[in-house]
A and B are shown apart, each in its own frame.
Chain A
Amino acid sequence: MDEDKIDKIIEEHRTDKSELIPILQDVQAEYNWLPQDTLRYIAKRLQVPLTDVFGIATFYKSFSLKPRGKHLVRVCLGTACHVRGGPRILETAERILGIKTGETTEDYKFTLESVNCLGCCALGPVMVVDNEYYGKLPPTKVEKVLHKYGYTSLSSGKGGET
């Protein structure tokens, strides 16, 4: 952990407990996840119990306490995507990457997550890689999209056996 980096983030906000969520968001933007020592350090700096920091980091879905891959693949499971085949997109992505939802490939290239609605319901089913949206996606195109981000059959633990 780079204490200066965290100090800089905290200074941009107030050293006030109410700024905890924005501070954690910025720390996660820096590291891509929330390493345990950063949580301890933030608790100390803001003088709040570690349990409060941990409570927030586990309550909100956008925070991750595990390292995430270089690319974040999110499959929308909102109602509109659900009735248009969202679960099959997720299953296909799981099969291709050889991981379950919420897991990261061994080479830390991809993390696969589901999301409960991205608000582009008219284009369901939707998959988002990093910040690129792929709408009206058929299961047969999932692999092609992943290739754009450097997926090869070697990317994943078990993947690529298709």
Chain B
Amino acid sequence: MNRRKIKSPSDLEKLRQEILAKRDPKKPRIAICAGTGCLALGARKVITTFKEELKKCGLENEVEIRETGCPGFCEKGTIVVIYPEGIYYLQVQPGDVPEIVEKTLVEKKHVERLLYTDPTTNEKAIHEDEIPFYKHQMRLLIGNNIKVDPKNIDDYIALGGYRALAKALSEMTQEEVIEEVKRANLRGRGGGGFPAGRKWETTRNAPGEPKYVIVNCDEGDPGAFMNRALMEGNPHSVIEGLIIGAYAIGSHEGFIYVRDEYPLAVENTGIALEQAREYGLLGRDIMGSGFDFDVKIFRGAGAFISGESSALMSSLEGKVGAPKPKYVHTSIKGLWNKPSNLNNVETWANIPLIINKGARWFTSIGTEGSKGTKIFALVGKVNNTGLVEVPFGITLREIIYNIGGGIPNNKKFKAVQTGGPSGGCIPERFIDTAVDFDELTKLGSMMGSGGMIVMDEDTCMVDVARYFIDFLVDESCGRCVPCREGLERMSEILNDICEGRGKEGDIELLEELSAVMKDTSMCGLGRTAPNPVLTTIHYFRDEYDAHIKEKKCPAHVCKALIEYYIDAEKCTGCLACLKACPEGAIAGEKEKVHVINREKCSKCGICYDTCKFGAVIIS
């Protein structure tokens, strides 16, 4: 497409008006989530079916189809929104498409069964703001995802995109931009929570040229995917923030480091950069300001530790992505030993908002020490899983119950894990804690990048600790002894406990190892690695004791400590489990009680899942 260069802020406004003039706000539009989550649930087929169906009905010129970014309600994908009314359809399957076209687009009626239904009142919700999952959120960053096609820059410009950049370049000095970000008290969203404005200032004042700016989209925390959703769903919001930062810092070269596991983010960001270049929003003399800046994408190659700032920069240099001791911060000596400012995707995405609306507005949201909103990945044992953007200060209860809709299958809430492998498990008694950087740290956990994994009574906390330690054994770069050896020893002890070989003194040994690792590891990975172990010991010591002393797993998770058997009174002799058992460990005949052969049983749990009568019991 031939795009005219934008040479001034008024050019940008003119372009925006032209884009809007070409668009009829009353024209029906079908917005379909084409994020990784919905694609996993079959969104591609839904999109092609819509195209075919519109053609069949002769509506292909009357109705627009827009493939959008992820609006966050992944649990209910594929998500389809019909504009201009904003009718929100959930869990749309290709088979539903003809009915949507006929009923909603032609007859202007709703397809009731595809609307959100309140599980308690059975009331239907038609629009986004009526659905509880969305109603209690504050969607400043992720709210635009359903409105834009990430592959089309005009959608972003139509919403007022790149205005903040125009304002910064034409009305603000570099110092004023930094001051505004400092006043907003924007803290890094990648986990550390360090004030972004101060970091920018350090890089700006550091001696040495060139200076670099970097987007960290190496989102490795298991259970977090907000960076993916922003980078693949609304890449221009991140790119705009990055250009503003580059201007303030005095950088002319930027990098976006995307992890290898996010191919769609790489693709959409690449397209976005190309389109921004065509409009002259990247390159030489941006918007006639005399400021030059361009960005390269770098695809990671699969290493959790490469998300750490010095490791990420090593990786960009083409080296092994292991961290370095930080006698000097990367903001002073980073990429190729030059001053380099690295921020997380979500941090960058906040910048246009702060510049547009001002620090005063931004600081009106949130708590004393944590301003603005945060996107959390609400996942695990919770009804409404997905991405949730809320102001700091909201309680865990509000997130898990009001937005998340509580725990599935009437199970009991046990804990919520935040902060990824560096974080910890917060038990039920702290559910009314207001969520911000400082409060989570007080509980022994941390904000991290925003993963929030809900656990119910069926989750074994010792197993969770073992899971994180095994994860880190795998991901530790191995350079420093406390982390490399400490993790291995912890893994051995935790595996012993889970497999029935736990002994007195194990807990104390874990605590001692934790203290050494915290004090002496080289980087944040090793220093925070003990957190999942320490918080589970602190809050769920009784579960450790049950494993060690009684050789029991109260949540029935640890295989070595459980047995499966069939309740003779409940068994109907339907043969279902017998046929499903991969080991041939179940004996029985039709309409006769089945029996599990313990010697053959591999405890895979398939019989438990298969039985419709609740006759398979775990003890």
Residues on A close to B: CB < 8 A? 16-22, 24-25, 52, 55-56, 59-63, 77-80, 82-84, 88, 91-92, 95, 115-124, 126, 131, 133-136, 138-140, 162
Contacts and interface: CB of A to CB of B under 8 A. Distances in A.
B546 interface: no
B69 to A, nearest CB: 14
Given A20-B318, A91-B604, A120 B299 contact: no
A162 B37 contact: no
B268 interface: no
10 contacts: A79-B451, A80-B453, A83-B459, A119-B225, A119-B262, A120-B74, A121-B225, A126-B40, A131-B263, A140-B606
Contacts of A20: 318
Nearest to B301: A60
Contacts of A131: 263
Contacts of A55: 320
B475 interface: yes
Interface stretch (B50-58, B204-212, B215-223, B482-490): B215-223
Interface in B286-301: 298-301
Contacts of A60: 260, 300-303, 321
B584 to A, nearest CB: 9
A95 B605 contact: no
Nearest to B610: A140
A139 B225 contact: no
B261 A79 contact: no
B316 A18 contact: yes
Contacts of B77: 123
B386 interface: yes
B589 to A, nearest CB: 21
A79 B380 contact: yes
B322 A62 contact: no
How large, as a class, is the contact surface on chain B?
35 or more
Interface in B316-354: 316-322
A117 B471 CA distance: 11
B379 A115 contact: no
B302 A79 contact: no
Interface in B527-558: none
A121 B379 contact: yes
Contacts of B262: 119
Contacts of B377: 80, 121-122
Given A121-B225, A139-B604, A80 B380 contact: yes
Contacts of B199: none
Interface in B190-230: 219-225, 228
Contacts of B315: 21
A120 B380 CA distance: 11
A116 B220 contact: yes
Contacts of B477: 59
B304 interface: yes
Interface string B85-120: 000000000000000000000000000000000000
B251 interface: no
A119 B219 contact: yes
A144 B189 CA distance: 40
Interface string B24-59: 000000000000110111000000000000000000
Nearest to A115: B261
A55 to B, nearest CB: 5
Contact of B609 (A77, A91, A119, A138): A138
Given A79-B451, A80-B379, A61 B606 contact: no
A79 B317 contact: no
Nearest to A82: B467
Contacts of B301: 21, 24-25, 56, 60-63
Contacts of B263: 131
Interface in B218-269: 219-225, 228, 260-263
Given A59-B322, A119-B219, A122-B74, 5 more contacts: A79-B223, A92-B606, A116-B471, A121-B222, A134-B40
Nearest to A78: B222
Contacts of A84: 380-381
A134 B386 CA distance: 17
A106 B285 CA distance: 58
Contact of B222 (A52, A61, A79, A140): A79
Contact of B40 (A80, A91, A135): A135
Closest 7 pairs between A and B when the two form their complex, measured CB to CB:
A122-B74, A133-B40, A60-B301, A61-B302, A78-B222, A119-B225, A80-B379
Interface string B391-423: 000000000000000000000000001001000
Contact of B261 (A59, A82, A118, A136): A118
Residue with the highest number of chain B CB atoms closer than 10 Å, among A16, A25, A77, A78: A78
B582 interface: yes
Nearest to A57: B301
A134 to B, nearest CB: 7
A54 to B, nearest CB: 10
A22 B299 CA distance: 7
Contacts of B298: 21-22
A122 B387 CA distance: 8
Contacts of B582: 92, 95, 162
